[in-house]
Amino acid sequence: MLRGELLSDTQIRIAPIVESLSLKAKAYAALKTAILRMNIYDDNAELKLDERDLSARFGVSRTPLREALAQLDSEGLVRIVPRKGIFIVRRTKAEILEMITVWAALESMAARLATKEATDEEIASLHELVDSFSTDKVAAKMGEYSDANIRFHQAIIKLGKCGLIAEMTESLFFHVRAIRQRTIFEDDRARRSIVDHKEIVAALEARDTEKAERLVREHTLKLREHVERFVNIV
């Protein structure tokens, strides 16, 4: 898969909504899903939404659509600006750096907990997200690896079995996922990511609590360093 094919979701992609008792709820769910699938930090991402166009593409009237957009505005996913339009919210670089820092703290604690709480089988399941990729051939599987990379970090959170950590990372996930997608192709990050992931799995399997926590924290802080040095967000 080519990079352009993987990161093609710089435009919002919407399926028509089937009539139901709650068109507002359907519109909200469909629109939120479409936004969450976007790569909003791509330089070519289309962040402005057209209400009339969305109404036509959804196949619903503008009233339930406006109600859905108002709910998304209250959640911080979109911003409704009077007389200017509706915009998908993209965080500033400073905000992204803070989010990555918090994610590093939360995921590393989840890894620490995983060494004590996760079963051998649960930890072994991480191999499905790691072993099919090699450092010398990852360039040919960039699309697959980008997806596996995101799922690997979600899996670490899940293995920690701490509901509050899962809840807190969920609020950060949209933006952290998007910035990981954008940067995984840059500065040989994919190859180095594979090496890190294999070391993390080995530390978890060894029940080496301190090492697992440290490796996960350092891995995510490498992303922070990369974003701070090389990524422009406008």
Query: In what order do the strands lie in the sheet containing 85-88?
Result: 48-49, 85-88, 78-81
Task: Identify whether residues 41 and 137 lie together within a single domain.
Answer: no
| pLDDT of 190 | 93
Q: Based on the structure, what is the number of domains in the chain?
A: 2
| pLDDT of 12 | 79
Task: Identify whether residues 58 and 170 lie together within a single domain.
Answer: no
Task: Identify whether residues 57 and 15 lie together within a single domain.
Answer: yes
| pLDDT of 20 | 44
3-class secondary-structure state, position 128: helix
End-to-end CA distance of the chain: 28
Task: Identify whether residues 204 and 129 lie together within a single domain.
Answer: yes
Task: Identify whether residues 62 and 165 lie together within a single domain.
Answer: no
Q: Which residue range is the domain that position 36 belongs to?
A: 3-88
Task: Identify whether residues 147 and 218 lie together within a single domain.
Answer: yes
| pLDDT of 141 | 84
Report CA 105 to chain centroid distance, whole Å. Answer: 17
Q: What is the pTM of this model?
A: 0.83
Q: Token match 């051998």: residue?
A: 120
Task: Identify whether residues 65 and 124 lie together within a single domain.
Answer: no
| pLDDT of 17 | 55
- In tens digits, the chain (234 residues) has pLDDT values of 444 444 446 777 776 655 544 888 989 999 999 998 888 998 889 999 999 999 998 888 999 999 999 999 999 999 999 999 999 999 999 999 999 999 999 999 999 999 999 999 999 999 999 998 988 888 778 889 999 999 999 999 999 999 999 999 999 999 999 999 899 989 899 999 999 999 999 999 999 999 999 999 999 999 999 999 999 987
Query: Which of 35, 67, 88 is the C-terminal boundary of a domain?
Result: 88
